[in-house]
Chain A
């Protein structure tokens, strides 16, 4: 696996190696650590410049924690996050501040992602105020330019977030993320809270901006149809680990891991004729607790194809085609 990373190094924007985030469970008066929630348990992937890399999975699989860790908004337990050939986890606070300008984040909840007491102008100009010495006029021009980019106008400048619809608020969030000309934007379920008609507007906006500024996206979502629409490459997470990863076509057309197969078969099909032909794989049981993940392959408790080996050893990644790989014993 090391080999693969080195070969592609030229185009790589971000390389994540063995990223782990374990939340300690504290009990009692003295806060004794009695266990750990392994939210992210050894995740490695590479994001190339200009692509959209999606992370999909059920809620609680650790995909949002990965997103937060990439900006060090939560401090990872161990691993490496190499961005532009610098390890983000080695940086002190000031170095991190400079590095972070290149990575911005868009959130799911548009209510809590904008400060309700600030005007739109203040919200969008904040990153400019913090990071650049700009005159007020330059800043105003830049804010107007950003508003224009996301399809809002100057008459929105002095309004407050509660006066906007969900889609408009998400546009404001995108404008704020763009203010510092970042290279990478982490999109943490950016359209999950929106109406379907608004979702496509926001997705189109994101695609348009990607082309314009050569942006790289890490797109975190549980919505497979959205992911299929926007991604170049896809990683499927289950219980803190990536179980399958590859190009969008490969993962969606030729899924190998039983969990990915089950996920893909859950996507509803609008055509009733095709729908009857489709086989649904319905998983039994619940996702095990990340406090106490099952031994061996994390998925073996729900897997319809499990063998004895699955309960003992966590499978290595197997290459299927190009960079399409999956962690399963039976493929």
Chain B
């Protein structure tokens, strides 16, 4: 009896060890990717700054100080001031808030809805699949920026409409990727086994298909963050996105644009912020894809 319990304990321990090993396999692969890790740290820092903007930013982003306008970098204003004398660094930090907010919400919405549609279309197939995919493809024929322009001109610009437009614009590619992965997974025999056990459609979608398409979900979400942030900035630059005086990187580039010959820093700093965050999301997406790709992970073993 004693022996048995000891053996069981040893076994339990092994089980736990095995489990923790398994869970960290993909994470270890991600961590091995230096560029991906740097990008992830950049994003973490930017996110913390965005969330804690009132604590981090040295000045209020909208307080004007006309006497000190268009100043260059100094110990008081690290990145100088803009045409109204507002602190550029503070505005960039607050701008990160808007960009991240718009990006995270629209990408979350589009990925969740898009994957739901794509998985249902892929699994059910037939007429439903045809109808859903044709509708989404027709959205996809309109470039995201143009779609944004049209809707924002027609419906008026505010942050909700902006999020809605970006969500709708990103939906089709999410759905297509989900559908493709689902078509692949649904032919696997474990799905047939589940049907023969009496699983319903919903159970199969959630328990069998979803875990196997989750990696593409993560990758596409990271890559879409770039698109969402870029589109938000572009629309704000064109004056149709977030309206002044709210600080966004797009607005700031637009404000600096007339003075680009005399004071290029005004457009360059927010532009740099935009580029760094976009590239970081792209790199994290790539690193995720490499880490989660079963073919690459097989080679690793």
Q: A residues bordering B, Cβ < 8 Å?
A: 68, 71, 73, 97-98, 100-101, 103-105, 107, 109, 112-118, 123, 126-127, 130-131, 154-155, 157-160, 163, 173, 176-177, 179-180
Note all chain A residues with C-beta closer than 8 A to B198: 97-98, 100-101, 127, 130-131
- Contact of B27 with A by CB under 8 A: no
The answer to whether B192 has its CB under 8 Å from any CB of chain A is yes
- The answer to whether A117 and B212 have CB atoms under 8 Å apart is yes
Whether B18 lies near A100 (C-beta < 8 A) is no
Cβ 8 A contact of A104, one of B15, B196, B203: B196
A157 contacts B197, CB within 8 Å?
no
- Could you tell me if B18 and A159 are in contact, using CB atoms closer than 8 angstroms? yes
| CB-contact partner of B189 in A109, A126, A130, under 8 A | A109
Write out the residue numbers on chain A whose beta carbons fall within 8 Å of the beta carbon of B154: none
Which residue of chain B has the shortest Cβ distance to A158 in the bound complex? B15
Task: Tell me which residues from 253 to 299 in chain B have a Cβ below 8 Å from any Cβ of chain A.
Answer: none
Complex Cα–Cα for A159 and B20 (A): 11
Q: Are A73 and B197 in contact (CB under 8 A)?
A: no
* Beta-carbon contacts under 8 Å, B1-56 to A: 8, 11, 14-15, 18-19, 22
Interface residues of B in 180-237 (CB under 8 A from A): 188-190, 192-199, 203, 207-208, 211-212
Q: Contact check, A126 vs B194: say whether CB atoms are below 8 A apart.
A: yes
27 A-B pairs with CB atoms under 8 Å apart are A68-B192, A71-B196, A73-B192, A97-B198, A100-B196, A101-B197, A101-B198, A103-B196, A109-B189, A112-B190, A113-B190, A114-B190, A115-B188, A117-B212, A118-B211, A123-B190, A126-B194, A126-B197, A130-B199, A154-B8, A155-B11, A155-B14, A155-B15, A159-B15, A159-B18, A160-B22, A177-B193
Pick from B196, B211, B212 the residue with the most CB of A within 10 Å. Answer: B196
Complex alpha-carbon distance, A126 and B203, angstroms: 11
Instruction: Give residues in B with beta carbon < 8 Å to A.
Output: 8, 11, 14-15, 18-19, 22, 188-190, 192-199, 203, 207-208, 211-212
Enumerate chain A residues within 8 angstroms of B194, measured Cβ to Cβ.
126
Residues on A with beta carbons closer than 8 Å to the beta carbon of B14? 155
CA of A118 to CA of B212, assembled, Å: 10
Smallest CB separation, A130 vs chain B (Å)? 5
Which of chain A's residues have a CB closer than 8 A to the CB of B197?
A: 100-101, 104, 126-127, 130-131, 176, 179-180
For the complex of A and B, the 6 pairs showing the least CB-CB separation, nearest first, are A117-B211, A113-B189, A127-B197, A155-B11, A107-B189, A97-B198
Look across to chain B and name the residue whose beta carbon is closest to the beta carbon of A97: B198
Decide: A158 near B18, CB < 8 A? Known: A112-B190, A115-B211, A115-B212. yes
- B196 contact set on A, CB distance < 8 A: 71, 73, 100, 103-105
Residues in A whose Cβ lies below 8 Å from that of B22 = 160
* A residues near B18, Cβ cutoff 8 Å: 158-159, 163
Closest to A161 in B: B190
Contacts A112-B189, A180-B197 supplied; 18 other A-B pairs, CB < 8 Å:
A73-B196, A98-B198, A100-B197, A100-B198, A104-B197, A105-B193, A112-B190, A113-B188, A113-B190, A115-B212, A116-B212, A126-B207, A127-B197, A127-B198, A130-B197, A130-B199, A154-B11, A173-B193
Given contacts A127-B198, A158-B19, is CB(A105)–CB(B192) below 8 Å?
A: yes
Chain B interface mostly helix, strand, loop or mixed?
helix
Among B19, B193, B195, B203, the residue within 8 A (CB) of A176 is B193
Q: How far is the CA of A160 from the CA of B14 in the complex (A)?
A: 14
* Residue in chain B with minimal CB distance to A114: B190
> Which residues of chain B come closer than 8 Å to A104, judged between CB atoms?
196-197
Closest to A180 in B: B197
Q: Please name all residues of chain B whose beta carbon is closer than 8 Å to the beta carbon of A73 when the two chains form the complex.
A: 192, 195-196
Please, which residues of chain B bring their CB within 8 A of the CB of A118?
A: 211
A131–B189 CA distance with the chains assembled, in angstroms: 20
Among B19, B203, B207, B212, the most chain A Cβ lie within 10 Å of the Cβ of B207
Complex contact A112–B11 (CB within 8 A): no
Residues of A within 8 A of B8 (CB): 154
Tell which of B14, B18, B193 has the most Cβ of chain A within 10 Å: B193
- B15-A157 in contact (CB<8A): yes
Return the chain A residue nearest B215 by Cβ: A117
Q: What is the CA–CA distance of A112 and B188 in the complex, to the nearest angstrom?
A: 5
For the complex, give the distance between the alpha carbons of A71 and B188 in Å: 16
Q: Once the chains are docked, how many angstroms separate the CA of A155 from the CA of B19?
A: 12
Question: Which residue of chain A lies nearest to B212 when distances are taken between CB atoms in the complex?
Answer: A117
Q: How distant is B9 from chain A, measured CB to nearest CB, in Å?
A: 11
Q: Which residues of A contact B208 (CB under 8 A)?
A: 115
Instruction: Considering the complex, give the chain A residue whose CB is closest to the CB of B10.
Output: A155
B20 to chain A, nearest CB (A): 11
Contact, CB under 8 Å: A115 / B190: yes
Q: In the bound complex, do residue A130 and residue B15 qualify as a contact, i.e. CB atoms below 8 Å apart? A: no
Interface centre among A104, A105, A177 (most CB of B within 10 A): A105
Q: Which residues of B contact A180 (CB under 8 A)?
A: 197
CA distance A104 to B192 in the complex (A): 10
Contacts of A158 in B (CB 8 A): 15, 18-19
Q: Provide the bound-state CA to CA distance between A220 and B193, in Å.
A: 16
**What is the bound-complex CA distance between A130 and B199, given in angstroms?**
7
Shortest beta-carbon distance, A188 to chain B, in Å? 9
The smallest C-beta distance from A71 to any residue of chain B, in angstroms, reads: 5
Contacts of A159 on B, CB cut-off 8 Å? 15, 18
A131 to B200, CA, bound (A): 11
Q: How far is the CB of A120 from chain B (nearest CB, A)?
A: 11
- The interface residues of chain A lying within 8 Å CB-to-CB of B192 are 68, 73, 105, 107
A127 to B18, CA, bound (A): 25
Taken together as a complex, chains A and B put the C-alpha atoms of A109 and B212 apart, in Å, by: 18
B29 to chain A, nearest CB (A): 15
Closest to B188 in A: A112
In this complex, what residue of A is CB-closest to B197? Answer: A127
